[in-house]
């Protein structure tokens, strides 16, 4: 469990005011671990989620450690259908809400239920009422959401996302979510640079951003509209570096 003391929190804020300016490593400069695009025969959704988790660790850890930050390696939980979600964060049980994906700072843990992954893969998970997109969902829809949640882990390591409610966040919820979309794009660029991404994968990520974006008329904009989320993702993907995502943290959204 992380324990971010106020003095450390303030230090990280001061040190990080320039954003990720010290993270000079480009996405393509990181080690190139194996990335599994589709479920191999005889492997489960749990296996696929674990492959993604290891790939994200292998990409972000040397970048963070190389620039003097803590290793962002985190823990994971991928509950099967009907299995309780056990964290110290307040979440609904699978019986009431079977599709869940979130980062719990109390436990330093990324949780994605296998039902959530299945619905993302099938294109049946939606949070808005826009007309369904025409292209199919697939494996990279799951990969994008995992990369987004891993980005929240990075934000916690860097002091932007507080663990405890009494700690004031250093950015709005919408800014943090769009920054996470952007950082997911940075990782996606690394997958492309390894020759493991094709046009259908990018379409899958775009579909997910469309499915999960908030209605523009929502009075409580915590995540961003489909257009805003797609723009953030493509900013990270096109630039391929974490500093390109700074504007979402340094300017209010």
Kindly report, residue by residue over 23-34, the tens digit of the pLDDT.
334 444 433 334
Which positions ≥6 away from 109 have C-beta within 8 Å?
74, 75, 76, 77, 87, 103
Mean pLDDT of the chain: 79
Considering only CA atoms, which of 176, 127, 123, 136 is closest in space to residue 153? 176
Dist CA 234 CA 229 (whole Å): 9
- pLDDT computed for residue 244 by the predictor: 95
Neighbours of 38 (CB within 10 A): 10
Tokens of 120: 């993302």
Give 168's DSSP letter. P
Are the beta carbons of 114 and 80 closer than 8 angstroms?
Answer: yes
Asked if residues 250 and 203 have their Cβ atoms less than 8 Å apart, the reply is: no
Q: What are phi and psi of 76, to 5 degrees?
A: -140, 155
Highest averaged pLDDT of the listed ranges 9-18, 127-136, 169-178: 169-178
Which of 117, 86, 124 shows the shortest CA–CA distance to 99?
117
pLDDT of 210-245, one tens digit each?
Answer: 888 888 888 888 889 989 999 999 999 999 999 999
> Do the beta carbons of residue 116 and residue 101 sit within 8 Å?
yes
CA 133, 135, 138, 143 torsion-angle sign: negative
Q: How confident is the model at residue 130 (pLDDT cuts 50, 70, 90)?
A: low
Q: Tell me the CA distances in angstroms from 166 to 4, 102, 162, 163, 183, one per residue in order.
A: 11, 20, 9, 9, 26
8 Å CB contact between 77 and 111: yes
Residues composing the chain = 253
Question: Which pLDDT score is estimated for 231?
Answer: 95
Q: What are the tens digits of pLDDT across the range 17-67?
A: 233 333 334 444 433 334 445 666 778 899 999 999 999 999 999 999 998
pLDDT tops 50 at residue 189? yes
pLDDT score of 246:
92
106 burial type by CB count under 10 A (0-12 exposed, 13-18 middle, 19+ buried): middle
CA–CA separation, 57 vs 130, rounded Å?
34
pTM listed for this prediction: 0.82
């Amino acid at each position: 469990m992380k324990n971010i003391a106020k003095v450390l929190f303030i230090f990280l804020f001061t040190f990080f005011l320039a954003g990720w300016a010290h993270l000079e490593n480009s996405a393509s400069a990181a080690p190139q671990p194996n990335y599994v695009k589709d479920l191999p025969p005889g492997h489960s959704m749990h296996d696929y989620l674990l492959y993604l988790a290891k790939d994200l660790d292998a990409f972000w850890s040397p970048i963070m450690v190389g620039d003097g930050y803590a290793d962002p390696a985190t823990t994971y939980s991928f509950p099967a259908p009907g299995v309780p979600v056990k964290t110290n964060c307040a979440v609904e049980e699978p019986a009431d809400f079977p599709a869940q994906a979130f980062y719990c700072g109390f436990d330093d843990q990324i949780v994605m239920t296998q039902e959530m992954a299945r619905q993302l893969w099938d294109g049946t998970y939606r949070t808005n009422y826009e007309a369904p997109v025409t292209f199919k969902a697939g494996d990279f829809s799951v990969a994008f959401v995992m990369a987004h949640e891993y980005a929240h882990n990075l934000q916690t390591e860097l002091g932007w996302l507080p663990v405890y409610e009494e700690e004031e966040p250093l950015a709005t919820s919408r800014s943090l979510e769009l920054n996470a979309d952007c950082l997911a794009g940075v990782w996606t660029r690394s997958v492309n640079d390894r020759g493991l991404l094709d046009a259908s994968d990018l379409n899958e990520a775009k579909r997910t951003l469309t499915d999960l974006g908030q209605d523009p008329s929502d009075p409580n904009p915590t995540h961003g509209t489909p257009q805003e989320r797609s723009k953030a993702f493509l900013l990270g993907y096109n630039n391929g570096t974490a500093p390109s995502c700074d504007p979402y943290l340094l300017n209010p959204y």
